[in-house]
Amino acid sequence: MKACAASKVIFIIIWALFLCGSSAAYAADYTDCIKCHVAKPDLKKKYIHPAIQMGCKICHADAHKKGGGNPLGLSSEVPKLCFNCHGNKAFKGKVVHPPVASGMCTFCHDPHSSGNEHLLRAKVPKLCYECHGKFDNKVVHAPVAAGMCLSCHTPHTGPYEALLSKPLNGLCLQCHENVVRAPHADTFGKGHPLFIKNDPKHPGHEFTCVSCHNPHDSKWIKLFKYKVIDPDGFELCGHCHKV
C-alpha cells in the first residue's frame, strides 16, 4: 500500500512539472498584449474590426522585434497593411480623396473598434468637418443641414469632380426633378437654358447648377452664388449678361 501511495505522489509531481514546463513554453511564444498595452481595443463597442478575432499578431507581426522597420510592430506600413485584406482597387480612381491618396486610413477609421459604422472615428458629418469645416451661412442646403455628406459624395474615390456620386446636374435632379418640368428662372416666359456646354463665367467648363447656386450654403436666397435680394429681379443675370 505504501509503495502504491508513493507511486501516486511521484506521478502527481511529474505531471505538475510537465504542466509547468508546458505553460512556460507557451508563455514564451504568446504575449497577452492587453495586459501591458493600455491602448487596447474596447471589445464592448458596437463595431469590432474582424482582424481582432484573428489575434494581434495578424497586424503587429513585428511586435517586440529588435530593429523592426515599422511603427507599433506592424508587419507593413499603412495603407499597405490595410490592403492585405481590403485590396487597393477600390481606392483607385480618377478623383481620390486626399487622405486616401496619402494612405491615411487610420485618420478616419479606428483600426480596432468603434461605436460608429465602418469603424469611423466619429459620425458623419462631424468627421468630415474636421477637415472641411462647417457650412453655417444664412441659407444651408437641406442635405447639408441634415449631415448627409455621403448622399452626394463618395468618401474614397470616384469618377466625378469633387467626389460626387453622379454627374453634377443628374445628382441635383434626383431631388429637384421639378426644375426640368417648367421654365427655370423664368425670364420672358421662356426660362433659362439649364445645360450649356460653356459657362460664360468659367471658360472651358460646362454650365451647371453650381454656376448659379452654391451646393452647400450661401448668404443669399435659394443658395445663389451672387448677391440676390429680389428673386424676380435681374441681379443674378447681370453677372453674365448686360442688363
179-205 tens-digit pLDDT: 888 888 766 667 888 888 888 888 888
Phi and psi angles of residue 164, each rounded to the nearest 5 degrees, phi first: -65, 145
Cis amide bond preceding 79, omega within 30:
yes
- Are 108 and 99 in contact by the 8 Å Cβ rule? The answer is yes
Which pLDDT does position 184 carry in this prediction? 84
Report which residue type is found at 41. P
Secondary structure letter of residue 109 according to DSSP: B
Report which residue type is found at 213. H
More confident residue, 1 or 26: 1
Report which residue type is found at 113. S
Mean pLDDT of 12-33: 43
- Per 3-state DSSP, the chain is made up of helix, strand and coil in percentages (nearest 5) of 40, 10, 50
Which pLDDT does position 30 carry in this prediction? 36
| pLDDT score of 14 more than 60 | no
- pLDDT tens for residues 66-90? 777 788 889 999 999 999 999 898 8
List Cβ neighbours of 48 (8 Å cut-off, separation of 6 or more). Answer: 41, 112, 113
Which pLDDT does position 15 carry in this prediction? 42
More confident residue, 207 or 33: 207
What is the pTM (predicted TM-score) of this model?
0.78
What does the alpha-carbon distance between residue 14 and residue 38 come to, in Å, rounded to a whole number? 38
Mean pLDDT of 127-133: 95
